[in-house]
Structure 1
Amino acid sequence: MAKTWKDYILRSGAPLEYEVARAMSKSGFEVSADLSYLRRELDGSKEHSVDIFASFWGEPATFAAHLLVECKYRSPEKSLLLLQDPNVDIAVSNLGGTVVCVDHFVPFYLGTNAFLEMEADCPLVYKGVEIHEKDNAVDVEFRRAIQQLRFGMPAALHRAVESSIFNTEASVDDTHAIFLAPVLVTNAPLLVLKEEVDIKTIENAEDLSEIAERTGMAVLFSQHGPEYVQHFHGAMQQLVIGDFADSFIRLLEKSIRKKRKKIRCHESPAQILRDMRGDDQAWCYETGDQFYIVNLDYLPTFLSLFLSGCRMAYKFRGKRAGKEVVDPDKLFSMDGKDV
C-alpha cells in the first residue's frame, strides 16, 4: 500500500512529541523543545538535540523536577522487546537511582530511596530490540535514542544547576533542590522477555505473547563508556565560573552553614562544581547509566509517580550530616498518588 501524507507526518515524530508535551503540560510541567548540545565527532563537534526538556517547579526555594525526554514514534506493526538484566545476584544497576538528586546547594538533605518502590515495581532491562511483526528485528534505533539521551544529560544538568544557583533574583535564599531524569517515550508496545526464555523456546513459539509480557515502563541500565566521560566534563566546563560566580558560591556556603547544614569539604558547593568540571567520574555514573523507558499510554502514570517521589524526597528532608531515609512502604499508592 502506498504511503500517504498521514504516514509521513506521523513518521516525522512531531505529532508524538506534541502529544507528549501536552501530557506533561497537563501534569504541571513547563515544556521546551530541542535541548541542544555539542558532541565531538571525527570531523569536529556537531550539534545534536533531545526532543523535550521539561521542568516542574515546586514552591519557591523548594525543588525543581526536570525530565529530559526523547520521543520515538513507531508504526503500528512494530513493538519494542526489552531484555531483562541477567545480573540477578550481583546487580550493577542502582535500584531507585535513575533520578539524579542534587541537594548540595540547599541547606537540607533530600530523603533517600524515594524512587525505590517506583523502580522496584517495573522491569530492570539492559537491551532493547525493535520487532517488526513480519520480517525484521533491529536494535540500532533504540541504541541511538539512548545515546541521544545519555549525551544530552550534561546539558540538562548544566541548565538545572544554573537555574538553581543563579535565578533572576540572584539570592542565596532562592536556591532549590534538583531532580533530573532521562526518559525515552514511545508509542510502540513495550514487551519484556520472560525469564528462562531461551533460543529453543523462541523457536517453538507461535506468538510473541508466549515469550514476552507487556509493561507500561521499564528501567534500562546501560553503562557509559570513556567517550561519555570526556563529553560530560567538556560540557560542564562553563558551569558557573567567573568572579561573580565565585563570590556567589562563597555566600551560598556561608548561608548553608548558618542554617546548620554540616558541609563536609568534599560535599561543599564549590567542590561539587569542581568535580562536575574536573576529572571526577561519579557524576558520569549518576547521569549516564540509567534511563526510564515509558509507553505513551503509561506516561500520565509515570509523571504522577515521578512527582510523588520528588515530593516525598523533599518532605523527608533533614539538616543532619547524613541523609534522611524514606520508608518505601509509605511512598506510593497503586495509582501513583502520594499516600
Structure 2
Amino acid sequence: MSKDNKWKDYLLKSGIPLEYEIKEFLDKKMCVSNFEYTYFRKDKSNEITEFSYDIDSSYIKPPHFVDLMIECKYRHESTKWLFLPESYGGPDEIEFTSFMHPNDHFNKDGHFRFSNFPFPLAPLCSKGIELTSQGQNPKTITQAISQLSYAMAERVTNGMYHQIDEVLSKSFNGTIFHNIPIIVTTAELYRIKENSSIDSIKQSGDIEEIATKENCLVIKNKAGVDLENYNLLIFQNFVNEFGKEKLQKKLNSFNKDLDFVLSVIAKHYCPTCFVVVHYSKENNGLENFFSYIDRVIKPDKEIFELIEKNYEESQERLKKLKEKMDEKRKTKS
C-alpha cells in the first residue's frame, strides 16, 4: 500500500466504517439505534472513568423489548478468533436462549416462556484468542467482553425501572426486556473441535483440521468478583432509589426475596453469555441472529412441534433410567 493510501487502512482500523454499516443494517431491521452507550466505573487506578460500547439498539416486538448491546471490532480478513468448545446444559445450566437474558422480574403478567427452545443459535464456547499474522493477541476479546459486561447491570435496572415506575409501568408492565451483549467482528470465527489435543494441533497443516469455521458463536461468561460486586452496587443504587419495600411488593420472579433475586442476577445472569458474530458482505452472521430471535419471540408451528418432541423424548429417557434403577435395586435385594 502506498503512503498516500494509508489513510484507508487507518480509517478501517478505527472501526467507524464497520459501526456505520452495522447501524445501517439495524435500521433496515427497524431497530432504534444510537452510536455509543457510555457509563462510568472505576478503572485499574481506582479512578472514575467513562467507558462505552459502540452501538445501543432496540429491537421492539411487543411484548418483547430486545436491547442489543453491540461492540464492533474491525480486523483484517486474515485475522482469526479461536474459541474453546463448551456444551449446553451441565452445571452452569446454559440453555439455548440464555444469551437473551430475559428481564421480567417485576412483571405482573408476561414471563419469558421459551427457556426450553429446541435448538441453539450457535455452538457454545468459552475462552478465546485472537490470531494474526503477527502472532496472538490475548486482550482484544477480553476487553470487548469487559466493556459489555460492566454495562449490563445498568441496562438490566433500566428495564426494571420501566416495569415498576408509576407512569411507565402503565405501558411497560408486561413487557419482557432482553439485554443481549454482542461482539460484531470482521475476523473469522473458529471453534476448536472437541477432543483436540496439543499433538493434533502440532500435526495439523491448517486451522480447519482442528477447528470448525462458524459465522456465529455463543460465549459462556462467568462473573469475576469485581464484576459481581460492581453489579451489586448498581442494584443497590436501584433499591435505594425506589425503596426496598416497594420493590419487594412488586417482585414477581423466581424467588420471593428481593435481595436473593438481585444477588443471583449479579453473579450468574449479568451477563450469562455473549454472542459473537462474523460480519462481511458475503457472510453476515446478524441475518441468522435476527431470524433466530424472531422465531424465539414468535414461535411457529415447527417450533412447538419440536418442543413437544423434545419433551416426549426426555420423558422416555427418564422412564428408562427409572426402570434401570429399579432393576438394580431388585438385583441388590
Coarse TM-score class (shorter-chain normalised): 0.7 to 0.9
**Structure with the greater relative contact order (CA < 8 A, sep ≥ 6): 1 or 2?**
1
Tell me which of 302, 323, 330 is aligned to 2:289: 302
Q: Which has the larger radius of gyration?
A: 2
CA displacement 1:199-234 (0-9 Å, x = unmatched)? 111212222222221111111112111101111122
1:51 and 2:47 correspond: no
Counterpart for residue 265 of structure 2: 282
Please report how far the alpha carbon of residue 105 of structure 1 lies from its aligned counterpart in structure 2 after TM superposition: 2.7
Aligned partner of 1:25 in structure 2 is: 27
Shift of 1:16: 1.0
Check whether the contact 1:24–1:303 (CA below 8 A) recurs between aligned residues: no
Trace 1:193-272 onto structure 2 (pairs within 5 A): 193-239=192-238, 242=241, 245=242, 253=250, 266-267=255-256, 272=258
More deviation, 144-153/172-181: 172-181
Instruction: Tell me if structure 2 keeps the 8 A contact 1:126–1:220.
Output: yes
The equivalent residue for 2:275 is: 292
The answer to whether the 8 A contact 2:162-2:172 is kept is: no
One-letter amino acid of the counterpart of residue 142, structure 2: R
Question: C-alpha separation between the residues in 1 aligned to 2:217 and 2:164?
Answer: 32
C-alpha separation between the residues in 2 aligned to 1:306 and 1:55? Answer: 13
Partner of residue 39, structure 1: 41
* 1:329 matched to 2:327: no
Distance 1:95 1:89 in 2: 6
Does structure 1 residue 72 correspond to structure 2 residue 73? yes
- Counterparts in 2 of 1:88 and 1:22: CA distance versus 1, 3 Å: closer
Q: Distance in 1 between matches of 2:178 and 2:6?
A: 42
1:159 is displaced (CA, Å) by: 2.6
Deviation string 1:50-84 (CA, Å, 9 cap, x unpaired) is: 1111112234xx23111111111101221111111
Partner of 1:160: 159
Which stretches in structure 2 are left out of the alignment for 5+ residues? 309-333
Q: Deviations over 1:86-130 (max 9, x none)?
A: x689443512212111223323242433574452x5211111111
The verdict on how the C-alpha distance between 1:307 and 1:246 changes in structure 2, with shifts beyond 3 A counting, is farther
Q: What's the offset of the Cα at 1:192? A: 1.2
Return the alpha-carbon distance in structure 2 between the equivalents of residues 228 and 31 of structure 1.
26
SS of residue in 2 equivalent to 1:105: coil
Matches within 5 A, 1:113-152: 113-114=114-115, 116-119=117-120, 122-132=122-132, 134-152=133-151
Q: TM-score, normalised by structure 1?
A: 0.76
Q: CA deviation at 1:39?
A: 1.8
State the AA in 2 paired with 1:123. Answer: P
Q: Deviation string for 1:154-192 (max 9, x for gaps)?
A: 12223333344448x545354222122111111111111
What residue in structure 2 maps to residue 321 of structure 1? none
CA distance in 1, matches of 2:108, 2:148: 30
Residue 93 to residue 218, structure 1, CA distance change in 2 (3 Å)? farther
5+ long unaligned stretches in structure 1: 257-262, 316-325, 332-339
Give the aligned length.
297
SS of alignment partner, residue 4 of structure 1: helix
Query: In structure 2, how many angstroms separate the alpha carbons of the residues matched to 1:27 and 1:115?
Result: 26
2:123 is matched by which residue type in structure 1? P
1:159 counterpart SS class: helix
Give the superposition deviation at 1:246. 5.8
Secondary structure at the counterpart of residue 99 of structure 2: coil
Match of 2:170 in 1: 172
Of Structure 1 and Structure 2, the greater helix share is in: 2
CA shift in 2, pair 1:16/1:283, >3 Å: same
Give the whole-Å Cα distance in 1 for the aligned partners of 2:15 and 2:25.
Answer: 16
| Pair 219,116 (structure 1): closer, same or farther in 2 beyond 3 Å | farther
Instruction: Give distance in 2, aligned partners of 1:247 and 1:90.
Output: 34
Structure 2 contact 162–168 (Cα < 8 Å) conserved: no
Residue 151 of structure 1: CA displacement? 0.9
**Aligned in 2, Cα 1:135/1:8: closer, same or farther, shift over 3 Å?**
closer
Q: Is the 8 A contact 1:229 1:281 kept in 2?
A: no
Q: What is the percent sequence identity of the aligned residues?
A: 22
Do 1:113 and 1:327's aligned partners in 2 also have CA atoms closer than 8 Å?
no
